[in-house]
Chain A
């Protein structure tokens, strides 16, 4: 059954799915939100109810969770996406905290602060692996399509995009909904791994961590976000001795990245064989140049 390392990879996979959502929203559309953990929660609870009360299999729970999240994201987006950046952020923060409060108080549905227990443990490495592959595939193709280009247009020059006839409101809402759906997907998998959903799992800190992960990986790089997630999820486990310093290192990393290398570790580039080959070539050419000079 799930050994320690397998468990770690499962968590990495779940986090990747959630982060992809944030990457699409924040990295590619430049909408900063602190509500994504709340959508994970919504997905987790919805998925849990579908699994336990309606006795449906996991894929149905995932789709159900995604639909519920999408609807709520759509409604929330309609109200708040017209707000300026900072205000939108606060509105999503408010939304996130409200979801937490509702989850704690709505005992009948969510189990309150006790949490929703007894969720069947259906998430294993295979399920997560397949989910991650599909998630990346969809995201990649989305971002390289016309929709993706519109997202980026909004990111770079929203007013100009508006001027040339791109329906910015619609695309912002679409990005918001898609990120909510990814979050819900991750949330359902989460609930079915821990067999328990507690409101405090999806709080403001979690939302901030998701955003921080995307920032560090590179706003505008999907593979950057993925690598960043893998690194940041595994690091505290592998460096357990320094666990105390983990969050401290996290914070410092964010400050360093954002001041010194604001485009994150990957910037706008994606990982690809070409980049790696070019990098290796550059290393060698420097060597030959040095040799040449010596002669």
Chain B
């Protein structure tokens, strides 16, 4: 059974990882926690759902639409809300509050205009399980795991090996200097939001396929957020590691200790890590602005 639980844990963790990455991208750049991230994923899930049930597009086009839609929403939120706050020179906390407001707005907009009924994705893939020596893994899980790995690999390539990535990293390190060196920081911030939103959209679609689609589904991003803090806010590899660890921990606590106290363990772990290593496992050591 341990192997089964490992499989369960990695499967849960991979979803968290995809979400946590999007989170970490924005944090590394702007230093704030995008509370609306989960809700952008949720919008992606809904777009995917409607696109597929409309039966006009092949499923992969529907997915692309969902990802694009979420990305655009994220981009818009930056342009309309976050940019203004940055320009006002407001404290970084305000960005987070705006994100909180956006989260409430998006969730409730969907609730009001689309309704609270739960929806499931039509069966594009059969709900089958593949059995390998007594351990079961769902077909959807396998595929979502594969997609996650591929996407994260592409992201790594993008950030580490392209000029785009270089510009983003430069802006993340020091925005003023980067802008002095001629990098159009605003443009890159927008692009990162687009990228983060797209990742969120993909997470949403995968979540929708695995589970169900409903307005509050974005709340799962809290786990991603914790994973990111745990792994070190601002560090993308940290977020991924954190996500997998949290996924595994959740599964093992639920299975072997007490599912009711599962969240308690997660938070205790979190506080423990923060006390011992205040910037998380791989976090950058950031000083509070003087």
Contact = CB atoms under 8 A, between A and B. Distances in A.
Interface of A: 30, 32, 79-80, 82-87, 89-91, 93-95, 97-98, 101-102, 104-105, 157-160, 208, 211-212, 215, 244-245, 247-248, 250-255, 258-260, 262
A61 B212 CA distance: 44
Given A101-B263, A245-B112, A248-B112, A215 B274 contact: no
B108 A248 contact: yes
30 contacts: A30-B91, A30-B93, A80-B275, A83-B274, A85-B92, A85-B93, A86-B33, A86-B96, A87-B278, A89-B33, A94-B226, A94-B266, A95-B267, A95-B271, A105-B258, A105-B260, A105-B261, A212-B100, A212-B101, A248-B112, A251-B104, A252-B105, A254-B97, A254-B98, A254-B100, A258-B97, A259-B80, A259-B81, A260-B84, A262-B85
Contacts of A253: 101
Contacts of B267: 94-95, 97-98
B288 interface: yes
B78 to A, nearest CB: 12
Interface residues on B, range: 35 or more
Given A82-B278, A87-B233, A251 B102 contact: yes
Q: Please report whether the interface of chain B is mostly helix, strand, loop or mixed according to DSSP.
A: helix
Interface in B246-290: 258, 260-261, 263-264, 266-268, 270-271, 274-275, 278-279, 286, 288, 290
The prevalent SS among residues of A at the interface is helix
A279 B279 CA distance: 48
B109 interface: yes
Interface string B98-132: 10111111111101100000000000000000000
Contacts of A211: 97, 100
A85 B288 contact: yes
A57 B290 CA distance: 48
